[in-house]
Structure 1
């Protein structure tokens, strides 16, 4: 697999995450010399010949894009999208909050605070309303649970984003023999136990601005 430039990854991510319209992406494909230089001829031809107007074109295009990047990068895209959805309250963000608990159960132990302090409250609301699932709640009850997450959830989200940025947590995109998602944990014991908060004194561009 060829090494793909950061600029191409950015363009791929925008359409993969549905932040870019397919017609705009199609125009970029046709005019991008950088793409031609970064991809092998067969892969480049796949993008040129892709039918951007076909039914389910976005889902098929996502598969095509995922063939050009590592499993680790795809996993990073997926979790980053959920984190930013919840942080910015966009794109059905309540589902992203609930997914934090699912990701923890699937093996991402580093999501523990987001899972138990926020995701579980939405996924299993019985202790609040004696109702078993989020879908069965009234709209008012859903909104109350969601609003209870803010603003505290934002700090926890940014903590995880920073772990990923600084490779304190390295997503692999594979499951182990027990079916659990694998990752490399480079955090210190203090970071794992939430005894330490890292505050940057110099303001710099957040790494996840790349994904916006």
Structure 2
């Protein structure tokens, strides 16, 4: 996508993210002169001929778009989707919050605050309800635990979104030899220094400090 304008990238991302935007996207594809001038010919005609009314239109369109963008962009879009879901409390946002811990464990160390303060709290709610997993909780307990995340989680989400948007965190979409997701970290030392004390408490076995 290196030669595609930011405007086109944004339109592709919006429809990739939200299926309700399909009618607007279809109209834009038919009317946009920018698309014809900037997209490769095959992709442009695939968008023109795509059946936007078919039953599985959105997932099929997502596949089509993903085939035309870099793995780095796909990774960026996926993590941005989780961040926006959690921020706006939409589309199963509790799953997105829990995924923050999973992403941290897979190699995204920059997700540490979101992972430990919020993702792990939902993923392992034992300290609150003596339950091993989130799925064991009642709906009321789940909602109570989710509500504890707000509004503080929004500050952390916006921080990570800002890092990604401004290139301080550049996602690669590949794993290293150890199976960890790779990224380029352009943050300052101050921005990186955000969870060391709690990690020390965990390493020492002071679990009561970790859950404060």
For residues 36 and 69 of structure 1, the distance between their equivalents in structure 2, rounded to whole angstroms, comes to 17
State the partner residue of 1:153: 153
Moved more, 104-113 or 42-51: 42-51
Provide structure 2 residue ranges, at least 5 long, that are not aligned to the other structure.
Answer: 196-212
Q: Contact (CA 8 Å) 1:2, 1:40: kept in 2 or not? A: no
Provide structure 1 residue ranges, at least 5 long, that are not aligned to the other structure.
Answer: 196-212
User: Which structure would you say has the larger RCO, counting Cα contacts within 8 Å and 6 or more residues apart?
Assistant: 1
State the partner residue of 1:133: 133
| Structure 1 residues 51 and 37: alpha-carbon distance in aligned structure 2, compared to 1, 3 A threshold | same
* Pairwise CA distance, 1:68: 2.3
For residues 136 and 149 of structure 1, the distance between their equivalents in structure 2, rounded to whole angstroms, comes to 19
Structure 1 stretches of at least 4 aligned residues deviating more than 6 Å after TM superposition: none
Note the alpha carbon deviations across 1:145-203, whole angstroms, 9 max, x for none. Answer: 111111221211122122212222111111112221110011222211139xxxxxxxx
Q: Contact (CA 8 Å) 1:15, 1:21: kept in 2 or not? A: yes
* Pairwise CA distance, 1:116: 0.6
State the partner residue of 1:57: 57
| Structure 1 residues 97 and 2: alpha-carbon distance in aligned structure 2, compared to 1, 3 A threshold | closer
Count of residues paired in the alignment: 195
Pairing 1:111–2:87 present? no
State the partner residue of 2:93: 93
Q: Contact (CA 8 Å) 2:51, 2:57: kept in 1 or not? A: yes
State the partner residue of 1:34: 34
By percentage of residues, which structure has more helix?
2
For residues 173 and 20 of structure 2, the distance between their equivalents in structure 1, rounded to whole angstroms, comes to 24
SS in 2 for 1:13: helix
For residues 42 and 194 of structure 2, the distance between their equivalents in structure 1, rounded to whole angstroms, comes to 48
SS in 2 for 1:135: helix
TM-score, with structure 2 as normaliser: 0.86
Q: Contact (CA 8 Å) 1:75, 1:171: kept in 2 or not? A: yes
Q: Contact (CA 8 Å) 2:169, 2:185: kept in 1 or not? A: yes
Alignment of 1:10-49 (within 5 A): 10-18=10-18, 20-49=20-49
TM-score, with structure 1 as normaliser: 0.86
State the partner residue of 1:184: 184
State the partner residue of 1:81: 81
| Structure 1 residues 4 and 20: alpha-carbon distance in aligned structure 2, compared to 1, 3 A threshold | farther
